[in-house]
């Protein structure tokens, strides 16, 4: 399991992250391969602890820096500009120079970077386009989860409906099964559920942790197979049909840090997700 390089030049590296891969290295990722470690190996960059202080005029693994603290901050992240949750797949942006790193961080802060996600959610989203604008913060009683909180930080997510699926499920203790047609005179018909799922395109204006997942839960349409915000029973049943959360970072656009030209990149739905949609359509 490794990222795929979508684009690379002297300033930026655009990656397609697979689901199940953690972005940043931490004390809790011991034994797991992270995107950060992959980037360090790909760009042949040493870990921060192994890099001596850089004085003016001395060549660093990336570039020449005037002061070590800026270089240190840049290197601590291996140039990775933003994050994706472990279970989320899609586009990840990496800077290859300190200048590009600072430029892109500023673009994120000023909301010049535009990201597009696809999410499959429970229920029918009846309003075809809209905006969710409620603050998001870390839950004080569960530090691993976030929620809509009055004292949270501003969080804005726009959305557009792409498709609606009417799904017939046969539910049993050990499995879920998608049916093409509702069975007639079936003794197990009481185990048949009709459910609607909506495919959304999401446009986060801000970048809070778990923002899209929290907003969709608050909206009453949790993401399919979301183990953290989908509800324990619902997520468990979803995972019998799809082993990962249906959330994919499909597009990104930003101004190239070197020449200021607007550039865009795209990552198509992974095969597992596209095949699942095909199953819903059959």
**Residue 55: pLDDT band by 50, 70, 90 thresholds?**
very low
Residue at token pair 């949750």 = 85
- Do residues 24 and 36 make contact, with C-beta atoms less than 8 angstroms apart? yes
Of the candidates 24, 30, 139, the one whose C-alpha atom is nearest the C-alpha of residue 84 is 24
Q: Which CATH superfamily is domain 113-245 in?
A: Pseudouridine synthase (3.30.2350.10)
Ranges 44-58, 131-145, 162-176, 188-202: which has the least confidence: 44-58
DSSP track, 46-98: --GGGSPP--TTPBPSS-B-S-HHHHHHHHHTTTB-S---TT-EEEEEEESSH
Rounded to 5°, angle at Cα 136 from 131 and 138? 160
Task: Establish whether domains 1-110 and 113-245 are of one fold.
Answer: yes
What's the CA gap between 124 and 27, in Å, rounded?
Answer: 40
pLDDT above 90: percentage of residues in the chain: 70
What's the pLDDT at 209? Answer: 93
- Do residues 266 and 132 make contact, with C-beta atoms less than 8 angstroms apart? no
Q: Which CATH number applies to 1-110?
A: 3.30.2350.10
85 belongs to the catalytic site? yes
Domain boundaries, the chain: 1-110, 113-245
What's the pLDDT at 51? Answer: 38
**The model's pTM:** 0.86
**Residue 1: pLDDT band by 50, 70, 90 thresholds?**
confident
What's the pLDDT at 173? Answer: 64
Among candidate residues 85, 191, 238, 259, the one labeled active-site is 85
What's the pLDDT at 50? Answer: 41
DSSP 8-state symbol, 107: H
| pLDDT tens digits, 138-158 | 999 998 899 999 999 999 999
């Amino acid at each position: 399991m490794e990222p795929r390089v979508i684009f690379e030049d002297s300033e930026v590296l655009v990656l397609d992250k697979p689901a199940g891969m953690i972005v940043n290295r931490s004390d809790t990722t011991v034994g797991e391969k992270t995107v950060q470690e992959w980037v360090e190996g790909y760009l042949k960059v040493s870990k921060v602890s192994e890099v001596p202080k850089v004085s003016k005029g001395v060549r660093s693994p990336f570039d020449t820096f005037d002061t070590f603290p800026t270089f240190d901050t840049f290197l601590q992240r291996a140039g990775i500009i933003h994050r994706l949750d472990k279970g989320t797949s899609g586009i990840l942006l990496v800077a290859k120079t300190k200048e590009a790193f600072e430029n892109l961080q500023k673009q994120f802060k000023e909301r010049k970077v535009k990201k597009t996600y696809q999410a499959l959610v429970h229920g029918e989203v009846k309003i075809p386009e809209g905006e969710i604008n409620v603050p998001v913060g870390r839950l004080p009683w569960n530090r691993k989860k976030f929620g809509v909180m009055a004292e949270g930080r501003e969080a804005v997510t726009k959305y557009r409906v792409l498709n609606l699926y009417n799904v017939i499920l046969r539910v049993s203790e050990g499995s879920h099964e998608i049916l093409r047609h509702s069975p007639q005179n079936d003794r197990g018909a009481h185990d048949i559920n009709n459910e609607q799922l909506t495919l959304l395109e999401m446009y986060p204006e801000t970048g809070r942790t778990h923002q899209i997942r929290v907003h969709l839960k608050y909206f009453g349409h949790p993401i399919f197979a979301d183990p953290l915000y989908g509800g324990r029973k619902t997520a468990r049943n979803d995972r019998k049909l799809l082993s990962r959360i249906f959330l994919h970072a499909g597009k990104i656009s930003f101004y190239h840090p070197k020449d200021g030209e607007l550039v865009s990149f795209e990552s198509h739905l992974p095969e597992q997700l596209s095949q699942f949609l095909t199953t819903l359509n059959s």
